[in-house]
Structures are given as structure tokens and as C-alpha cells.
Amino acid sequence: MAFIGLASLFFYAWWDVRFLALLLASVVFNFTVGRRLTKSVSHRPLLILGIAGNLFCLGWFKYFNFFIDNLNLLLPSDIAAPSIILPLGISFFTFQQIAYLVDAHKGEAAEANFVEYLVFVTFFPQLIAGPIVHHKTMMPQFHDHPVRDYDWGKACMGLSLFAIGLFKKVMLADELARYGSPIFAAAGAGKVISLLEGWAASLSYTLQLYFDFSGYSDMAIGLGLLFGVRIPANFFSPYKATSIIEFWQRWHMTLSAFLKDYLYIPLGGNRRGRSRRYLNLMITMLLGGLWHGANWTFVLWGGLHGAYLIVNHAWRKVFPELLNANPLGRIIGWTITMLAVVVAWVLFRCESVPAALEILAGMAGLNGLLIAAAERTAERRWYSWTLSKRWVASTAALLSVTLYFAVYHINRISEFIYFQF
């Protein structure tokens, strides 16, 4: 446990050693508060203090400049924003520790020593981009001493998932970025976007985002299995969803569960009437959008999905089984859902609202079918695998080739989209 903790800290410090102190301070603070809460589950003021401390840290690094910029727009002022670098993975390890404090307050988190808690927060496969894990899910696995009784079956599955995830990221997501990114950059520079360009950009980003984040999650799960630890699945074929409700049951499932358990339900959930339920949905999705980034595009993206969910719930209330009654209805539901998701991803991707509106205008055909390139100046559920001799014979060679090509291309400059969150 101590070795894994030190290795995880080294992994985080490799990016920028200056932020290692911030991560350690966050761990020490939450461990101290959590221990007090496990000994006195009725200590509500301490819980509020712990949550406030986490939100203050997240707010300073992620949202302070956003606040200053908007204050300058509203008031006749010119307040200089400080130069603040966003620490890697701060949203993920902050949310994870807030969940721990709430669970400790409820008596659902067993008391752990400092080394165990350090590993829970900093376990390197999921430290910087999730999935968001719960103390009660992870700590029993570490207590089982998975390395002492090593499971080679889990290791085979872990290496396989890692190879698949790396292939998704390097060979699919990064290749798709080459097609969409120049068009988004052109929209950001104020260029007119045509119908074909708008759809090419939005569809390529829709697939890029999925393969990037899903690939990272697969790698995290695979690395966890190499240590004998099962990290929760984060995706369950979200682009198969036939409704927005189903989409959020399949996309980034650990974040969806966090927002539901620690925001939507505490707000009242669906227990106070239909109107209050819709308001709670909108608040949850707006804050979920803001969690992704300090930009109005993320707020609008969250608000748009909040509106989608309200319409979806209202539709189910009036027509509970209309679109799921037959294959044609499911096709219609899938088409509407994917169109809504793709439109919303434009807001998620663009760095400004005007750029997003330009892409959407192009997708709507308001700028014509095609603009010559010469005019451009900017370019789960858990995996259920069974190992067998047949599986090894038919799959091992393919996975080896997959891993080879992924590693061969890994030296290209690229980024994980979700690192910024």
C-alpha cells in the first residue's frame, strides 16, 4: 500500500511537482475531517466545513478567473485576474473526497489509516480523469491484499482492456481530432462554417470525445485489474441510447451517479412534485456543466441537457411506451437522442458561445453547402469476460497487434480531453 501510494504521488508530480503539495494538503485535510466524522456521525457543522474547504479550493483554481472576467463585464471595472494554472485532475479528486466526507457523515465509510486513504485518493490509474470511485467500493479490495494472492486471470483481462483503451485513444480519437479541430479553430477565428463542415466537425468530435474518454476509462480499469482492483465501469455503449434519460445512465456513469446521489437527491429529487423535480434536474445539470469547465459554453451545455431531461420526463409521463413499443419507435428515439447529443457537444467543444453559434449555423445550412478550403486561414455495467483456451487463441494475437500499433503511435503530441476537467 505504501509503495502504491508513493508511486501514485510520483506519477502526479511528474506533470508539475509544485502541485504535489496541493494534492497532499487536500488528502491530509479530508482524512482529518473524515476521521472525526466517522467517530461522530451527527457532526453536521464539521461536514459543512469539510465540503466548504473542498469547494473553496476547487473554486479558487478553477473558477476565480471566470468570476473576475464576468465581474469586469458587468461592472465598469478592470480587475486584473491572477495567473492561475489549473491543477491536473482537481475536479475528480475533489468530488471523490466530498463523496467520502458525506459517506463518513452517514456512517457508510469505514475508518482507514492514512496510507489506505492516500491510496484511495491518489491511486494512479484513475487519479487524473476518473472514474470517480467510492471509499466503500475501493477500500475492501485493498484490504483483501490483491497482490499477495495475485489473480493472473484479472491480469490478462487488465492488459487486454488497457490495449483496447490505448487503441481507442491513439488510433481513433487522435485521428478524428485531425478532421474536426481545424474547423472548430476556424469558427473560433470568426470564419463562416458551411453545412458539410459543420456536420463534419460535430460528428468527428462526437466520436473523438467518446473514444478519448472511453479509452482512458478502459485503460484505468485495465491498470486497476493488473493490481487486482476492480475500478467501476464508466461507459455502457452510450451512443446506443434511445432517450436522453438512457444516455445519462450510460455516459460517464460514475459522474452521473455522483450528481444523482450528492446533488439531485439532496435537493429533493422527485419527492416534492413534478415542478420541483424539473427544477432539481435543471440545477443538477447546470452545476454538472459548470463542473466540466469555467466557461459559459459548459453552463449552456448543462442547461441544454437539463432541458432535454425535462422534456424526456414529461414525454414519458404522457406517452410512457410510445417510442419503445416497436423497432421503428426505437429507431426514431435513437435518431432524436443522437441529434440532441451531437448539437449539445458543439457547445461542449467550442471555446466561446459565438464560435458554437457559428458551427450550429453551419449545421443548420444557413451558410450554404460547402466553402472552399482555400478560403480557410485556420486549419456498466462491469465487463463480463470469461478466459478460456479458445479466447486466448482467437484474441491474444489481435490484442498484441492492437497494443503494438497504439504504442508505436503514442509519441505523437496529443491530449486527453478530460484532463482539463
Residues 380 and 233: beta-carbon distance below 8 Å: yes
CA distance 107 to 270: 25
Question: How do the residues of the chain divide into helix, strand and coil, expressed in percent and rounded to 5?
Answer: 70, 0, 30
Query: Measured at the alpha carbon of residue 119, what is the angle toward residues 118 and 120, in degrees to the nearest 5?
Result: 90
Residues 165 and 150: beta-carbon distance below 8 Å: no
CA distance 246 to 302: 16
Eight-class DSSP state of 80: P
Give the residue carrying C-alpha cell 458551411: 194
Give the residue carrying C-alpha cell 493490481: 227
Give the residue carrying C-alpha cell 505523437: 412
- The Cα diameter of the chain in Å comes to 72
Residues 239 and 251: beta-carbon distance below 8 Å: no
Catalytic residue, candidates 105, 134, 252, 292: 292
Helix axes 195-226, 353-363, angle to 10 degrees: 120
CA distances from 167 to 73, 212, 253, 292 (A): 44, 10, 22, 25
**What DSSP letter does each residue of 287-346 carry, written as one string?**
HHHHHH-SSHHHHHHHHHHHHHHHHHHHHHHHSTTTTTSSHHHHHHHHHHHHHHHHHHHH
Helix axes 274-292, 296-318, angle to 10 degrees: 150
- Write out the H or E segment, with its range, that includes residue 23: helix 20-39
Is 292 a catalytic site residue? yes
Say how many residues make up the chain.
Answer: 421
Helix (H, G, I), strand (E, B) or coil at 196: helix
H helix intervals, 75-173: 90-106, 114-122, 135-143, 152-167
- Enzyme catalytic residues: 292
